[in-house]
Chains A and B, each alone.
Chain A
Amino acid sequence: DAGVTQSPTHLIKTRGQQVTLRCSPKSGHDTVSWYQQALGQGPQFIFQYYEEEERQRGNFPDRFSGHQFPNYSSELNVNALLLGDSALYLCASSLNRREDSYEQYFGPGTRLTVT
């Protein structure tokens, strides 16, 4: 049973560029959430996708956008990169049933460095 996978593992970008991160959820899961984890901090919720729609969003600017595909995989896009966007980006998947939707399985993350 494949767990949550993310690609790429590491990424180096320059300020002002755009980046796309990818996530495949755990088999059977239909909901994907994205988090930003700065060094030494806890994860911060960016947004959650269910049925190809953004269901909830945290306090992040519009430069952060996402997409969910019919196979439940998801992408996180960040435009106009800033140095402060350097972080570990975590994807988590869950099943959209009342008691299960809060039980998330996390991927290994993508380490983004902006120079």
Chain B
Amino acid sequence: AQTVTQSQPEMSVQEAETVTLSCTYDTSESNYYLFWYKQPPSRQMILVIRQEAYKQQNATENRFSVNFQKAAKSFSLKISDSQLGDTAMYFCAFWVSYIPTFGRGTSLIVHP
């Protein structure tokens, strides 16, 4: 069975600073996809960034980047220049054969 662990239930950061959210996963598969999703208080889930396991280069989307360590089964999300609108629940998700597994989430609060 696939598992996803987000060890930080809550994080906080000052506006304009950088924060890193951690995620580890466990699988015996070699071909899979990893995602970070954001769920603001209004609750609609939004895709933040994705990483294909076969790609060594870490994905980047504007202020969001990942540190993908395949051997360590680690997939952390770095948010640079944090903005108030980044306040949300962040979920790490892992996909194998069309079946997704989500972590329990990290609540991020950005303080002005």
> A: which residues have CB within 8 A of B?
33, 40-45, 48, 55-56, 58, 88, 90, 92, 101-109
Residue B102 lies at the interface, judged by CB distance under 8 Å to chain A: yes
Contacts of B91 in A (CB 8 A): 42-43
Residue B47 lies at the interface, judged by CB distance under 8 Å to chain A: yes
> B: which residues have CB within 8 A of A?
4, 33, 35, 37, 42-47, 50, 91, 93, 95, 97-105
Q: Within the complex, what minimum Cβ distance (angstroms) separates A98 from chain B? A: 11
Contacts of A103 in B (CB 8 A): 47, 50
Compute how far the CA of A44 lies from the CA of B99 in the bound complex, rounded to whole angstroms: 10
Which residue of chain B has its CB nearest to the CB of A59? B1
Partner of B44 from A55, A102, A107 at Cβ < 8 Å: A107
Partner of A90 from B45, B93, B101 at Cβ < 8 Å: B45
Q: Within the complex, what minimum Cβ distance (angstroms) separates B67 from chain A? A: 20
Contacts of B46 in A (CB 8 A): 106
**B43/A102 in contact, CB under 8 A:** no
